[in-house]
Structure 1
């Protein structure tokens, strides 16, 4: 079930349904947030931020600490896992691993800078 929440800071958070790849459970998160929190939320441009949450199968409802994985750099992607393996397998046993779509965030900022 998709869940949408809003907060007093002018943002919105949409949480997707859980889905599976071998040995992992994943769900997508979409955030709409002000580009500049120092401006009036009603008139400030908004940007969309995407993140994917990963846990080991059976740990979806457990209270786990978060691990934000920032990978790559300008021009490099953050590969999306298709199965548990390597560091992801171990990390997802003990953490909620969050993969951010950094490339998309950077593109959005460039668009606003050129306005």
Structure 2
């Protein structure tokens, strides 16, 4: 297995990830149920038992879902924020360490 890194592409990937993060945050903000529930809760709570428990169950599920999703977005941002310094470090070490890696590779036996 081989890995090819193009350090110049890492800032581009970082920018794309941050753009996706902004979009996801906007979508999650629109999914906030308490704002939607407002007027309908009073009407629904006067209906049958299933309708009465619906909003409570839905809000409980939303909290679980949004908690996990918000944590995932935080990981996305953390990854995006390290790509630029990693790209710089990779380019620098690739240039400075290339001779050392080449020398070590010449000592590897092939079968």
TM normalised by structure 1 equals: 0.25
Q: Which is higher, the Rg of structure 1 or of structure 2? A: 2
Q: Going by fraction, where is strand more abundant, 1 or 2?
A: 1
TM normalised by structure 2 equals: 0.25
Q: Going by fraction, where is helix more abundant, 1 or 2?
A: 2
